[in-house]
Structure 1
């Protein structure tokens, strides 16, 4: 415990209030001390001030803990108020001795060591507490948070011992902890449960850029990673995820979030919501008690950024000197350096009705800018790699200014927009209003900086010392230097013709597919960034296409993005006009049995389905299933061994058969048996569009094989293979591909044709228009005439099928179905993926 008393050498004596009112501050952090600074600027000497701090230190800048961890700064360099400040302002500091009780009736606070101090006004600035996820092992030695200097000291000690660290949480603090530990020589893995890093501040595109940049710095970033337990016998040995992955580590840093620290206020009987409830003057439910910072809730909002805290402190100080300006809430922005990477975010970037996105992507420079506009006003912005115009966008956003006059040049920044297309950064900064925020870390406006310069602060260091602009993260340094220069003058030493995938890009389908493989792109945001998508997250046309192309190119590596699928594929059923769904279980080759029929009947009765219909694909379609019943319906069908017929999917739909030689007097081959084998071979494979197969047992063609995407007509001497047919509005008869002698060959050729279609057709292009576009001779040359090429296609198809996505509600049936067609997998060794073949 340490005492610092202004004007006194008696370390423990009470300050005699005299005429001054007694102000006690609980919390020696950034918010509490900033409130005191604002108060001293307005009325020095009006209050006798005592500050209690839980840490045994003076006030320091928590924003700068990351540079200390990284070795870029020392603790002394991040101190905001040293011992001299407390002494010079007659402030009594009681550090390392937290307040444990508030007696509101007697107006006394009591510390852990038993010190009691009376107050006329009490300010609670207890900040926030780190959230520790309650998984098994969370209390092991080696599990720490990242909130204060003590946590940094523990991380530095762990880094000195070496080894591996796991950081749980891909927000700002987690990424900064990972960066610092990595620079200290530890092998670092970041686990983030959401698919996008810093998802509250960044959209998907910027999140992908950030992830790529951090991975290039040697960190391992696992998104969508859900922690199951922290493993160890007394001390941390590693982290196990819910998917079974184990990551060895001797240190686990929890950085999953914070919660307002309200335990003390709650025990004192103050009104609590998400935080300590305050009014516009930062007064709690007790008129003698105020609160400020991350611990408070104002108008339903809790803030974790520094800029709102500074606004609160100004309003609080005004209230303490009877000015009563009031706090009206804050529009927040985030301007950060995440591991040396510039990031800016402000407002609402979720888009929605009436919103327009203006996007600039420069993949080679790692720059991404997105401004969201609604009704000719900026409502949100995300900048990555170049944040120089963040303050300007934020100023326009806060003031709701009409940007129609500069809309065409808005995305290029203030210098271009206000300079008529000529970049002039000085003119841009000169045009900023006096209340435009320059330094977000310390809440310093342009007007305040100019006043500092006019008052004699003629160097960058002098400005930092006077008003603290650019004294924290430093990202606004360039703007401050421009203001110095403006104030002191010389004294301050093809348009594409190809049909594009959609309006979001100038690339065609074939271009996109080629570049995905050539550049090794393995995620939708990566494709959009590197191919300069003009929208932030794509649209309903391009996202499903990109999802399919990535799934096709990288089987086993790419994780299917369910949100980029059409609703029927997401729900595993066909939505009907009344909002209910129809469910079609798979019947292999049109065959069924009493167990399956009984299961279907039970489902119809149990879920009150109003209609069951035999489909044209020789299956039963159950209509009128409610959305909320779909998981249970599939579970019941799975129990009978039935899986989805994918009647909703851009995938294999049906394999229609006739009874063939087993029963029909005209049958030449076992068409039913071959149809079942082909269906078991190819089910679950995603394709550019729906795909139908039929096997007819003789030329009478009862299964209608000559109007299917792939058809087999059995003849006495073997099997005629047909491709590119379809029914529907525009009926197209198939083209004869070739004739083969054995079932094995028919299956080989079918697999090769499907894979060629999967790899080369455009998304939502059926086989009929695809063949008409490329020509049936091309198809024959790739499959019938090129044995080596056909074998490679078949091999790639089998490889992809080994990773094909099962229905999430078919888990119990999946194993059995795999077994039933395992014999087909044994016919050929699993081949290499498309990208490996292309590389050869």
Structure 2
């Protein structure tokens, strides 16, 4: 029989998912055409806020490659939107004059962004936030401005604001309501969210109603209904969406807010269907990805001949902002429903379960600890009645309790359960995240479950990846063998552990050198030949072959004498550039290799370790000694931390900071270890990263004294040294293990004492590397590992 001609109008995520589902179930029965109005194949809109800050190419956002469509016989008609549908003749017309005949037609036209209808909205610098083109223009415009405002304090508005802030802009979120994400959060959760985002640097004006934008050709001010104004150079509107139903209404389909569909996703005309944000089912228009993917699956099943129905979807969401763990589902702020509220102020955790009359969960909010979200989704979907204590049920839902329910949803965007992943890994012999993603679609949308899936794969396979291609041994196996057999040199270890090559490679040799140093600080002598070039030379190599020298300046506090010495050597050795770094240190750039020793000798200052996988400097603000907002002496604690841990080798570089108040001027929230002052002590955060993949640090604990802070930080650093893979930054380490597990382990004073004891042993044998080298005690040669 000839294939049925099926046309999908719309090039969004739901259109692509529907085609994928249909190709899996009945590819041989349909000739498929996708009409995309945008100039790209369907791409991942969920990642657009990340695109603002990171600037990904649209090809990196594509859900499927052009080859993928071609292999399945799917035709992409790109950059030419549909403009008319003749339902009688079954023809779709496009803007460029193309005509396409169909047997079955799918409307997946998505939605439009709502924009304010106020004076000045047409000014340059006022943008919508919906498409790749929008974000590309926003990113380009942002290069020339210093401050921005986002109109709208909902989910997408907050994500857009964080993306702009990551570009280095000062960002104000303007919201009409008196609390953030008012549809998903109750008042307490909204307050906690706002407080955390303010710590990260976002500002808020709410409730505020925008009535106009003003400026000379480009936006310069936002005018509010109360007469106030905000000076601003860039405005992003994120105030909601409107279903794109114009084409369907003009064709004669029944439309209210969205295109009306029944449980089979039929419209009012035979062989015409609607899915996604343009469809209205039983009075509901869904705007989140998981319900839309469910509609795509049901329609594909029906067109493949299976008698399935779409009965509506559970609504839940997770905020995708670094450093914020937030989940919301169902009815969360409705009078008349019973609820359980658990709040741990020390851990910044707030959890609320909302129950129906029979004890079934009707809604949930998890802030600060969302590990139970998968179990809550499963319980709400099944209508499970909570017969035990709700508090006990909630506790069992966390990862720290070791739950391993096969029906637990691991990837909430795509509805992939632990059982789905387990079956794919075991039956197909899968070993990597990429293979699991291709087989199950898990982590293919927002990517928030990536670390969880990687851990599950490792658990199911029973063996982790080898540390490099020179061996079959994983990191844990290597460390266990080294500890058991007591090897004290890299070559001895490689021979004893059956290395495939005699010399190893630039990946495994530095790793073995680190593990030996970590395990046997007094027995193993550091091997420069197994160091990478920067660590070998104790300086950062630059692109012209010269080096940079960064003397250590504790807490950013220096003296005229130190500054004079730095100036003298910079002039004497014709240093190309003298730069104050972001970490409050002075960098001497353009130093010739033969002058490194002379400069260090004349400086007479310790190394700042700007080149090494080691403890770097500690950034501080001036704290209570000078700042009118300071509540603790951040400078003194920062200097103590730096002197306590300096020269310590670690799996990856470690950056630390201390802020004297919650304004967080030292940027503690994106550091490996960040310490923030509060009225009665310090809050310690770990696992942050301000680099290419921004990650907010997780709250570890609260302490009252400087000594307690040093005790916890020392224990965390030694735990990281002993358990992390070589080259693994704390951000991925904390994400992989989970902050709950780390916090629970370190909460035992005996454990902290033992960890600090081993840390002290490691520190006791370390000297400043240039002091050692100038004494001629290291036996350095030019035979060292180079980075591949």
TM over 0.5: yes
Distance 1:385 1:72 in 2: 29
Structure 2 equivalent of residue 220 of structure 1: 203
Q: Report deviation, 1:459.
A: 2.0
Q: Is the 8 A contact 1:239 1:246 kept in 2?
A: yes
Shift of 1:120: 0.4
Relative to structure 1, the CA distance from residue 337 to residue 74 in structure 2 (aligned partners, 3 Å threshold; closer, same or farther) is same
Alpha-carbon distance between aligned partners in 1 of 2:216 and 2:391, rounded to the nearest angstrom: 61
SS of 2:149's equivalent?
strand
Equivalent position of 1:733 in the other structure: none
Q: Is the 8 A contact 2:145 2:234 kept in 1?
A: no
SS at match of 2:320: strand
Residue of 415, 424, 432 corresponding to 2:401: 424
Q: CA deviation at 1:482?
A: 4.5
Written as runs of structure 1 = structure 2, the 5 A alignment for 1:548-563 is none
Report whether the alignment pairs 1:467 with 2:436: no
SS in 2 for 1:239: strand
User: Counterparts of 1:260 and 1:95 in 2: how far apart (Å)?
Assistant: 21
Kindly state the Cα deviation for residue 520 of structure 1 after the two structures are TM-superposed: 11
2:166 and 2:318 mapped to 1: Cα distance?
A: 22
Tell whether 2:124 aligns with 1:141: yes
The structure 2 residue matched to 1:311, chosen from 294, 304, 309, is 294
Matched residue, 1:22: 5
The residue correspondences of 1:599-638 to structure 2 (distance < 5 A) are none
CA 1:199–1:378 in structure 2 vs 1: closer, same or farther (change >3 Å)? same
Specify the alignment match of 1:440 in structure 2.
Answer: 412
Match of 2:341? 359
* Matched residue, 2:387: 404
Gaps of 5+ in 1: 1-17, 417-422, 494-516, 522-529, 532-840
Matches within 5 A, 1:48-63: 48-63=31-46
Q: What SS does structure 2 have at the residue aligned with 1:394?
A: helix
Tell me which structure has the larger Cα radius of gyration: 1
Instruction: Give the alignment partner of residue 256 of structure 1, picking from 219, 239, 244.
Output: 239
One of 132, 136, 142 as aligned partner of 1:159: 142
- Cα deviation digits, residues 659-702 of structure 1 (max 9, x gap): xxxxxxxxxxxxxxxxxxxxxxxxxxxxxxxxxxxxxxxxxxxx
> TM-score, structure 2 length as denominator?
0.57
The answer as to 2:280 corresponding to 1:297 is: yes
Please give the secondary structure, in 2, of the residue aligned with 1:304: coil
How many Å separate the matches in 2 of 1:349 and 1:403?
Answer: 17
Partner of 1:598: none
Q: Answer yes or no: is 1:372 the counterpart of 2:354.
A: yes
Q: 1:115 and 1:273 mapped to 2: Cα distance?
A: 29
Residue aligned with 1:271, SS? coil
| Kept after mapping to 2: 8 A contact 1:162/1:185 | no
Residue aligning to 2:91: 108
CA contact 2:371–2:397 (8 Å) conserved in 1 = no
Partners of 2:455 and 2:169 in 1: CA distance:
39
Q: After superposition, where does 1:223-302 map in structure 2 within 5 Å?
A: 223-302=206-285
Question: Which one of 422, 435, 439 corresponds to residue 450 of structure 1?
Answer: 422
User: Contact between 1:453 and 1:487, CA under 8 Å: does it hold in 2?
Assistant: yes
Mapped partners of 1:364, 1:128: distance in 2: 42
Q: Flag the structure with more relative contact order, 1 or 2, with Cα contacts below 8 A and sequence separation at least 6.
A: 2
- The superposition leaves residues 691-729 of structure 1 with CA deviations (integer Å, 9 ceiling, x where unpaired) of xxxxxxxxxxxxxxxxxxxxxxxxxxxxxxxxxxxxxxx
How far did 1:408 drift? 3.7
Alpha-carbon shift at residue 321 of structure 1 (Å): 1.4
Equivalent residue, structure 1, for 2:164: 181
Correspondence for 1:706: none
CA distance in 2, matches of 1:447, 1:301: 31
Q: Is the 8 A contact 1:463 1:469 kept in 2?
A: yes
Instruction: State the distance in 1 between where 2:55 and 2:137 align.
Output: 17
Pick aligned residue for 2:327 from 344, 350, 362: 344
User: Deviation at 1:214?
Assistant: 1.5
Partners of 1:49 and 1:127 in 2: CA distance: 19
1:525-553 deviation digits (Å, cap 9, x = unpaired): xxxxx99xxxxxxxxxxxxxxxxxxxxxx
- Secondary structure (helix, strand or coil) at the match of 2:256 reads coil
Distance 2:109 2:346 in 1: 45
Cα distance in 2 for residues equivalent to 1:268 and 1:235: 39
- Distance in 1 between the 2:294 and 2:391 partners? 34
CA distance change for structure 1 residues 285 and 332 in 2, over 3 Å: closer, same or farther? same
Partner SS, residue 277 of structure 2 = coil
Q: Which runs of 5+ in 2 are unaligned?
A: 466-473, 475-630, 633-659, 663-678, 681-788
SS, match of residue 462 in structure 1:
helix
Q: Is the 8 A contact 2:14 2:296 kept in 1?
A: yes
Matches within 5 A, 1:436-835: 436-454=408-426, 455-490=428-463
- C-alpha separation between the residues in 1 aligned to 2:175 and 2:189? 16
Aligned residues of 1:32 and 1:125 also touching (Cα < 8 A) = yes
CA contact (8 A) 1:359 1:411 kept: no
Whole-Å separation in 1 of the counterparts to 2:162 and 2:299: 36
Q: Deviations over 1:532-585 (max 9, x none)?
A: xxxxxxxxxxxxxxxxxxxxxxxxxxxxxxxxxxxxxxxxxxxxxxxxxxxxxx
Give the whole-Å Cα distance in 2 for the aligned partners of 1:405 and 1:86: 50
How many aligned residue pairs are there? 473
Contact 1:392 1:432 (8 Å CA) reproduced? no
